[in-house]
C-alpha cells in the first residue's frame, strides 16, 4: 500500500495533476469571463434580436477561425518529431486560410445585411486574431508548459474584460474580442518562438505539412460545425434573432460544461498516446460508466445552477429560456460525454475511422435539426438537438464494443471543440 501511495505522489504524477489543473483552469477562467461577463453585457447593449445575430456571427468565427487555427496547431505539434519546425511554412498556410475564412465571413455579413466597411474590417481582424489564438496554443503544447498556457488564457480573459470599455465607447462589439485575442498574440510573440522570422519563407516541408493537416482539418471542421452551427441554422430557418438568444440562454451552463471537452481531451490524449495496451470490453465498460456518472452529476449541477444564473445574467429572458432548460442542457451533456468517449476511441480506432463517424453524425445532426426546426420552430430545434446528441452518445458507446479488442495505433491528435 505504501508503495502505491509513493507512486501516486511521485514527481511525474504531481506534474500530471498540475497540468490537468492548469489546463482546466485556463478553460474555466476563459469561459467564465466570456459566458458570465462579456456575453450578458452584449445582450444588454444590443437587445435580444441583435444579440442573436451577433451569436450567429461568432459561431461562424468559431467554425472557420477555430478549425483553421486548430488544424495548423496539430500539424505543427506532430511536425516537431519530423523536423518540420520552420515558421514560414505554417504562417503561409495560416495567411491563406485567414483570407479564405474572411471571404466566407464577409459573404455572411452581406447575407445578414449588416455589411459595412467598418464591420467588414472588424470581422477580418477578428477572423485573423482568433485563428492565431487557436494556433498559438501549440507554443505551450510543444514545451508542455501548461502554466504558461493558463497565463495565455488569463491574458485573453483580461483583454475581453477591458474590451468591454471599447464596446461601450464605440458601439462595436467585435472590438471587445479583438483586444483579448491581440493580447494573446503579443504574449506569444514576446515569450515564444513560433512567430519569429523568417515569417513567410517557404521550405521543402510545405507540401508535407499541407498533407498532414488532411483528416485533422476535416474532422475538426465537422466537429466544430456540429457544435457551433446550431445558432446559424436556427437563425437561417426562423429568421428570428430572439429565438437564437433564447436557446443560447437556456443552454448556457450546458455549453460551458461542453467546452471543457477540449482541455480534458488534451490531457487524455497526452497520456493515452503512451499507453501500449488494448481497448478491452472491460476497460471500455469502466470508461463509459465513469463518463456516464460524470454526465449525470453535470446534468444535476446544471439544472440547479442554471435558473439562478439566468435570473442574474438575463433577467428579461427568464420566462422564455426556462421553457427549454431541461432539453437544452441535456443535449449539451450528451455532446460533452460523447466527446470524451470519442477521444478515447480516436486513440484506438484511428483518425480515418473517426472522420467517417463524425461525417455520419454531421449528416444525422443537420437532417434531424433541420426537420425538427421546420416542423416545431424553436421547440422542435431544442428537442432535435437533444435527440441528435443522444444518438451520437449511443453510437460512440456501441462503437467501443465493436472490432478488435487489442487495437494499437501510433500517436494521434485530440479532437476540436470550439470555444466561443
| pLDDT band of 284, cuts 50, 70, 90 | confident
Asked whether residue 57 carries a pLDDT value surpassing 90, the answer given is: yes
- Inform me whether the pLDDT recorded for 108 exceeds 50: yes
Phi, psi angle pair for 107, to nearest 5°: -60, -40
What is the dihedral sign for C-alpha 271, 272, 274, 279? positive
pTM: 0.78
* pLDDT on residue 74: 79
Distance CA 31, CA 19 (A): 18
Least confident of 275-284, 323-332, 354-363, 364-373: 275-284
The pLDDT assigned to 369 comes to 87
Q: Is the peptide bond before 198 cis (omega within 30 degrees of 0)?
A: yes
Q: What is the pLDDT of residue 390?
A: 93
Least confident of 50-54, 242-246, 326-330: 242-246
The whole-number pLDDT of residue 260 equals 61
CB 123 within 8 A of CB 174: yes
Q: Which of 94-108, 216-230, 316-330, 379-393 has the lowest mean pLDDT?
A: 216-230
Residues 6+ apart with CB under 8 A from 230: 59, 247, 369, 381, 385
DSSP string, 238-291: H--HHHHHHHHHHTHHHHHHHTTHHHHHHHHHHHHTT--S---HHHHHHHHHHH
Give the pLDDT confidence of 329-351 residue by residue, as tens digits: 998 889 888 887 887 777 677 66
Query: Rounded to whole angstroms, how far apart are CA atoms 35 and 256?
Result: 8
Most confident of 135-144, 234-243, 373-382: 373-382
Cell of 345: 476511441
Q: Which of 23-32, 41-50, 231-240, 248-257 has the highest mean pLDDT?
A: 41-50
Rounded average pLDDT over 252-272: 62
Q: How far apart are CA 40 and CA 47, in angstroms?
A: 10
CA distance 212 to 198: 22
**pLDDT, mean of residues 293-317:** 86
Question: pLDDT grade, residue 16 (50/70/90)?
Answer: low
Residue 417: is its pLDDT beyond 70?
A: no
pLDDT of 174 strictly over 90? yes
- Report the pLDDT value the prediction gives residue 128, as an integer from 0 to 100: 96
Amino acid at each position: 500500500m505504501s508503495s502505491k501511495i509513493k507512486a501516486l505522489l511521485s514527481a511525474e504524477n504531481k506534474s500530471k495533476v498540475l497540468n490537468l489543473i492548469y489546463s482546466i483552469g485556463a478553460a474555466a477562467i476563459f469561459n467564465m469571463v466570456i459566458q458570465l461577463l462579456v456575453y450578458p453585457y452584449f445582450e444588454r447593449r444590443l437587445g435580444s434580436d441583435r444579440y442573436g445575430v451577433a451569436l450567429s456571427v461568432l459561431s461562424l468565427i468559431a467554425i472557420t477561425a477555430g478549425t483553421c487555427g486548430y488544424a495548423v496547431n496539430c500539424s505543427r505539434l506532430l511536425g516537431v518529431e519530423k523536423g518540420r519546425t520552420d515558421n514560414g511554412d505554417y504562417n503561409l498556410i495560416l495567411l491563406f486560410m485567414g483570407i479564405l475564412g474572411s471571404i466566407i465571413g464577409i459573404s455572411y455579413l452581406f447575407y445578414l445585411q449588416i455589411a459595412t466597411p467598418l464591420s467588414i474590417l472588424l470581422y477580418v481582424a477578428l477572423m485573423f486574431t482568433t485563428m492565431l489564438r487557436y494556433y498559438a496554443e501549440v507554443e505551450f503544447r510543444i514545451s508542455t508548459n501548461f502554466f504558461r498556457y493558463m497565463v495565455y488564457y488569463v491574458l485573453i480573459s483580461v483583454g475581453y474584460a477591458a474590451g468591454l470599455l471599447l464596446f461601450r465607447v464605440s458601439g462595436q462589439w467585435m472590438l471587445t474580442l479583438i483586444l483579448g485575442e491581440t493580447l494573446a498574440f503579443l504574449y506569444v510573440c514576446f515569450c515564444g518562438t513560433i512567430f519569429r522570422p523568417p515569417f513567410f519563407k517557404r521550405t521543402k516541408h510545405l507540401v508535407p505539412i499541407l498533407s498532414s493537416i488532411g483528416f485533422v482539418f476535416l474532422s475538426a471542421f465537422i466537429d466544430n460545425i456540429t457544435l457551433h452551427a446550431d445558432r446559424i441554422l436556427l437563425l437561417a430557418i426562423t429568421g428570428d434573432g430572439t429565438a437564437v438568444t433564447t436557446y443560447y440562454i437556456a443552454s448556457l451552463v450546458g455549453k460551458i460544461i461542453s467546452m471543457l471537452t477540449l482541455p480534458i481531451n488534451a490531457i487524455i490524449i497526452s497520456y493515452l498516446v503512451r499507453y501500449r495496451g488494448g481497448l478491452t470490453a472491460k476497460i471500455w465498460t469502466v470508461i463509459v460508466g465513469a463518463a456516464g456518472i460524470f454526465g449525470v452529476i453535470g446534468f444535476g449541477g446544471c439544472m440547479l445552477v442554471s435558473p439562478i444564473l439566468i435570473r442574474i445574467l438575463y433577467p428579461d429572458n427568464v420566462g422564455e429560456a426556462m421553457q427549454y432548460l431541461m432539453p437544452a442542457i441535456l443535449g449539451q451533456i450528451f455532446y460533452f460525454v460523447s466527446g470524451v468517449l470519442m477521444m478515447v476511441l480516436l486513440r484506438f480506432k484511428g483518425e480515418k475511422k473517426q472522420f467517417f463517424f463524425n461525417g455520419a453524425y454531421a449528416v444525422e445532426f443537420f437532417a434531424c435539426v433541420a426537420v425538427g426546426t421546420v416542423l416545431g420552430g424553436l421547440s422542435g430545434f431544442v428537442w432535435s438537438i437533444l435527440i441528435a446528441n443522444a444518438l451520437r452518445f449511443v453510437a460512440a458507446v456501441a462503437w467501443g464494443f465493436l472490432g478488435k479488442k487489442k487495437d494499437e495505433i501510433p500517436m494521434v491528435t485530440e479532437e476540436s471543440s470550439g470555444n466561443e
